[in-house]
C-alpha cells in the first residue's frame, strides 16, 4: 500500500477545535513561500498519520485575504501529506442547504483577486481544474456522512469571494442567479494550490447562515443574529469534526486505486525543464522533484 498522510485544514470554528482529533507533536515547517499559518500538529487518527493545520492561525489572526495559502500547502506537501480534508464556514445560497448541515461541494467560482494563486511564478505550469475537488475524496466524505446526526449534502458550487466584507444583497442575488450554492472566502487558491502540489483535496463546507439574500425576521436585532450564527458555527463544527474523524480511516484505501490528482503535473509543465535555473529547481523540488 502506498504511503498515505491526511492533512486536515481547519477553518472558522474547526481551526480552534482541531485538538479534539487527537494530541500530537507540533512542528514548524519552513517554506520558500514564508511560514505557514502556524505550527502543524502531526498525530494519528484511526492509525492513519495526520497533519493538523489551523488556516487562520492561533487566535484567528489571518483574514481570508492574508492566509499564507502557498506556505500552508507547501508545508503539508513537505511533510508528506497526500490527501487534504479542509473545512470552512460558508453562507448558504439555497433554502435546502440549512445552517448546521454540511455540504461537500464539487465546483468553485473564483472571485478572488488579491492572493498569489500559483507556486510556479518562474515557469509555465497549467494544471487541469475542471473538477477542482478530488472526486474520490469527496465520495469518501459523502459515505462517511451515512448515519451522521446531521444531513450531508452532496455537490454544489462554492463562490469564493475576496472579502473580508460580506456580500451586498445584489451580489448575493447574483450568485444565486449563477446557480451557486455556497458563498465563502477561503477555498481559493487553496484548492488550486493543492492540485498544483498533486494532493487530493476535498472540502467540508459548514453553512452558518443564509447570506443576505434571505432576510432575518424584523424582530431579531443584530446581536441576536450574531448569537444565532455563532451557535450554528459551534454545532456545525462538531458535525464536521465527526465527519472528518469517520473519513480519515477510509482514506488509505484510495491509495491502492490511484488518482489523477496525484499526477496532475505530468502534462502540465510547459516550460523547457533543461532551461530552469538550478535555484528554481531546488526551491520547487518538493513539488516537481519527480519531473526534474
**Close Cβ partners of 77 (under 8 Å, ≥ 6 residues apart):** 197, 199, 286, 287
Q: Which residues contact 61 (CB under 8 A, 6 or more apart)?
A: none
168 annotated binding-site participant: no
Residue of 106, 121, 209, 279 marked active site: 209
Over the range 235-244, which residues count as b (16 or more CB within 10 Å of their CB) and which as e? bbbbbbbbbb
Annotated ligand binding at 185? The verdict is yes
Q: Is 279 an annotated catalytic residue?
A: no
CATH 3.30.300.100 corresponds to the domain 6-291: no
Question: How many CB atoms neighbour CB 282 within 10 A?
Answer: 12
Q: Give the pTM.
A: 0.95
* Domain range annotation of the chain: 6-291
Q: Is 272 a catalytic residue?
A: no
Is 12 labeled as ligand-binding?
yes
Write the DSSP assignment of 190-247 as a string of letters: HHHHHHHTT-EEEEEEEEEE-TTTSPPPTT--HHHHHHHHHHHHHHHHHHHHHHHHHH
d(CA 186, CA 238): 20
pLDDT band with cut points at 50, 70 and 90 for residue 2 = low
Q: pLDDT, tens digit, for every residue of 3-52?
A: 999 999 998 777 778 888 877 899 999 999 999 999 999 999 999 999 99
pLDDT in tens, 172-198: 999 999 999 999 999 999 999 999 999
- Cα separation, 16 vs 59, in Å, equals 8
The set of cell numbers assigned to 31 is: 517554506
The answer to whether the CB of 218 falls within 8 A of the CB of 246 is no
Looking at 58, 106, 121, 211, which residue is catalytic? 211
What is the C-alpha radius of gyration for the chain, rounded to an integer number of angstroms?
A: 19
Amino acid at each position: 500500500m502506498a504511503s498515505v498522510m491526511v492533512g486536515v485544514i481547519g477553518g472558522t470554528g474547526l481551526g480552534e477545535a482541531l485538538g479534539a482529533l487527537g494530541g500530537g507533536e507540533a512542528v514548524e515547517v519552513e517554506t520558500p513561500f514564508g511560514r505557514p499559518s502556524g505550527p502543524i500538529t502531526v498525530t494519528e487518527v484511526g492509525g492513519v498519520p495526520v497533519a493538523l493545520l489551523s488556516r487562520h492561525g492561533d487566535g484567528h489572526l489571518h483574514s481570508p485575504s492574508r492566509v499564507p495559502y502557498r506556505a500552508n500547502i507547501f508545508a503539508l506537501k513537505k511533510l508528506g501529506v497526500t490527501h487534504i480534508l479542509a473545512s470552512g464556514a460558508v453562507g448558504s445560497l439555497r433554502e435546502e442547504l440549512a445552517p448546521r448541515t454540511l455540504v461537500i461541494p464539487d465546483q468553485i467560482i473564483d472571485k478572488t483577486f488579491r492572493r498569489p494563486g500559483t507556486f510556479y511564478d518562474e515557469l509555465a505550469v497549467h494544471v487541469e481544474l475542471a473538477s477542482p475537488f478530488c472526486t474520490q475524496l469527496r465520495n469518501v466524505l459523502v459515505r462517511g456522512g451515512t448515519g451522521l446526526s446531521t444531513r450531508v449534502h452532496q455537490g454544489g458550487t462554492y463562490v469564493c469571494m475576496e472579502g473580508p466584507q460580506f456580500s451586498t444583497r445584489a451580489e448575493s442575488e447574483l450568485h444565486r442567479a449563477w446557480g451557486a450554492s455556497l458563498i465563502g472566502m477561503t477555498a481559493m487558491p487553496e484548492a488550486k494550490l493543492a492540485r498544483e502540489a498533486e494532493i487530493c483535496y476535498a472540502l467540508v463546507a459548514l453553512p452558518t447562515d443564509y447570506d443576505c439574500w434571505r432576510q432575518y425576521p424584523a424582530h431579531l436585532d443584530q446581536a441576536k443574529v450574531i448569537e444565532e450564527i455563532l451557535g450554528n458555527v459551534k454545532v456545525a463544527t462538531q458535525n464536521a469534526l465527526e465527519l472528518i474523524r469517520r473519513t480519515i480511516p477510509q482514506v488509505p484505501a484510495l491509495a491502492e486505486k490511484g488518482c489523477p490528482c496525484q499526477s496532475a503535473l505530468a502534462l502540465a509543465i510547459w516550460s523547457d525543464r533543461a532551461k530552469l535555473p538550478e535555484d528554481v529547481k531546488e526551491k520547487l523540488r518538493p513539488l516537481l522533484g519527480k519531473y526534474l
